[in-house]
Structure 1
Amino acid sequence: MVVAPTLRTVVRRLPLKLGVLTGQDALDRPVRWVAVSELEDPTPFLEGGELVLTTGMRLGADNAGPYVDRLVGKGVTGLGFGVGLGHEVIPAGLVEAAARAGLPLIEVPRDTPFVAIGKVVSDLIAAEQYDEIRRAFATQGRLTRAALRPEGPRAVIDGLARELGGWAVLLDEAGAVRHAAGKGATGIAGLRPELERLRRPAGGGTPASLALSTPGEHVIVQPIGARRVRGFFAVGLDRPFSPVAHTVINAAGSLLTLTIEHGREHLAAERRVRSAALRLLLAGQVRAGQETLELLGGGLPDGPLVVLAVGGDQEAVLEAAGEEFAADAEERVVVVVAADRAEEAAAALREHGPVGIGSPVGPDELRTGLDQADRALAAARRVAGRVMRFADLAGQGLLSLLDPEVAGAFSAALLAPLREYGSRADLLESLRAYLACNGHWDAAAQRLGVHRHTLRYRMRRVAELLGRDLDDPAARAELWVALAMTE
């Protein structure tokens, strides 16, 4: 909203030669326009805030008081009375009524045309409009320069709050606050239902902005993103937004979209380069991989390296990796760190997904390190701790490397004929004892407390039901795993 000139500014214009008779304490009221009227009741044609000019053709001693009361009730800024035409001097009754009501009463001399006053006010309003537009362009320029800084989106939010004299908040896609500037942003949590409306507008289409108003606060929320919503920003003031403020906010929205989309494109390109460098390193082309990473302003750490394979949300993992070398590869993120930082890095990444940690390797052995990390990651997906080190896998035993669900299904299918055979459990227990004694009949029979001929009969029946040669080491290994999964 344009700041209108005050009545004090108007009366101080020397060429107008205006005199103030009453209401000197109210001269700082804004003059939003000049209205000339000789009506006894001009208020139906007024909006409030006008400087009303009259020669008093219809005013007399009996109606001066009601006339002033009507003007005051409408909220006019002041009354200008032209002398030398209908009245040589301003009627005393009008002066008294204006003084009593606190209404500024301005004497307009005979040689000052009303149109001159209107022109002065119009020029002052135009000057204010031009100045406000100029300030708006200057503000947009400052916000544009802020968007070009490394912390672009946050700098835009800081500048927006400062320029408008309110608060501004940057929100992610879920409505969580990423950055806030200014004081008074107390109602952000209550905006989340409204954010859902912006995220999924009724009938599809492009999301629009949202405006909320209370007696003490006015808020505008806009989505950020070109092809889809990638976040939101909200701006709040303790007064209604002016047209120029709307222009500045719309410009900020465009800048935020550009910076975030450009940042995402830059980040995506950087990730592609990192992935290419990782492929070179894994292929043993260490020099070429290192040179590629140097183009990004980084490289592999010095000394022994440890490869981490991390599952879960790749975006979150890459962000959590920070300055470490990290690249998304297939369905996991590969992170390469100095050996002495492996545990610290794993602790930071485990919040975002299971982590597999390889053993220390040299730069030319990263393929081996990744294979180890992948094996550890497979085990980490099955344990509550979510972190597994390749060096610890040997102590977990062979069964720790198997997927419990897959191994359980394999066991159930393989041993089903034995369970279904006359509902007798002795075949399963006899097979378990036979394998535990490595095929020695006497030792196995003694463990079961049966004659060895009885055990031989049972093993022949097992071989028939399963279709397996119990003298075959591979068949024995499969049966041992299947029985171990039933314990």
Structure 2
Amino acid sequence: MLLRDLVGRADLRLRLLHGDEAALDRPVRWVYTTDLPDPGRYLSGGELVISGLVFRTSEADTERFVAALAKAGVAAFAAGAAVFHGIPDDVVEACRRHDVPLVEVPEEVSFGAVTEYVVGSVTAARGERLAVSLGRQRQLLAAVAGGAGLDELAARVGAEIGRTCRVLSATGRLLAGGPLPERELGEAVRTFLTAERLPAATGHASDGARGQRGNPAGAEAGAAQRAEPVRTVFPVGPSSELRATSWFVAVDGPPPEGDRAEAVGELVAVAALDRARRGEGLRVARDIADDAIALVAEGAGERPELPVRLRQAGLDPSAAHAVVVAAFEGRGRAETARSVLVDAAAHLGPPVVGTLEGHAVALVPGDPALLDRALARIAPGLSGERLTVGVSRPAFAAALAGALQEAQHARSLAAQRPGPLQVVTATEVTSHVALLAAVPDEIRRTFADRVLAPVLAYDTRNDAGLLETLEAFLDCSGSWSRAAERLHLHVNTVRYRIGRVEELTGRSLAHFPDRVDVFLALKSR
């Protein structure tokens, strides 16, 4: 109810001693009767405070009491006239100073009658709002049951409250509602990720934004619009969840109140249900994704199982796909990295995301540059966290194992760079990894077998440690002493083993082209 409803009640004969039209439009949330000298601790705002002025023994008492009401943000102060046979001037002046609406309750009107009217009106209004809310919830749930999508539900709530509603992910993926300019999208995501408390309002309307909303006449109207937030963001899901893996609802304008706030809350609840439903679908597809990524890691590019798994996961096996590897620092963070990668990779199309060796791995279609922009949006929300990402060049199924190695190498480079988020793409990888990634898996394996098969066979028969010695020797740039120190062997033993390798492979490791062949064969296994 509004204060004007109470003052306008003829049988109560209340008289407004201080307050203008705006004051009469203040909502009365509840009623509180007191004669405490300082009732501030018991007030939360919006109450009609009723007092018989028994607390008043001096003007200082009045000042203290009214100041407490103003600080609490009460709707109005209803003062009884019975004790002083009217309302003392200092009470009126204090209410004027603190801008607290003042209502006189005549001697013949009991506080009980005023209280009964306020409680009855507020309770009835709450019942009506509850009925409206339940009706809206039934309509939304019926729409969901009837197959309505999240986009349709956001539009329905937006039409009801007179504002545009959008549902977005932490990487800026639009799940419902119309698109946003990149700057405003980034601001909405940044507000969601960094606000100390949610819901939170984004920045204020710029001159351009004001022009789009209309040009209100007068400097006062213009100033008011300059102070209006562009939109308000609400979290979807539990507050304990990492925001970088969450959704949020963005509503144009300042924080909605009353019925509008309730309608937005119901949209948030439906969005949470939709997110849970999609999450269940992703969990069902998780095993298929893990199988596909495991086949890629095994170098099964030429085997018929891989195209089948890619098709089952929703990818076109005849198209090229980039491989993305992501990781948070610290153990046990693979699932968090996977959740971030699922959201970011969805900007490119249906992603296949799993885990491999403690890292999140995705196979994605399209332009990986879009992925880089999506990941960059969550950087403000990584306070205290560190996410490193490597992205390969697009590769066809036969060369996906090489692309995986390229992405892993790129992520290793990212891990060496400072900052909460580092994304390294294949264009920054200039080593042999880039060369090998472009070669189909079967060709790489054939080359490795042709060069190293005699060495592997000899080790199998004799447990001679030739391969281990060869890897150490090449890692030490051909230094006999450093290789011996690493392997805890005598230098002569290293020389003997490398000599056996040269005999078996027919290549001299002192000859640079032969050394390159052996090195690439090792990296192609």
Higher relative contact order (Cα pairs below 8 Å, separated by 6+ residues): 2
Could you state the TM-score of these two structures normalised by the residue count of structure 2?
Answer: 0.43
- Bigger-Rg structure (1/2): 1
TM (norm. structure 1) is 0.46
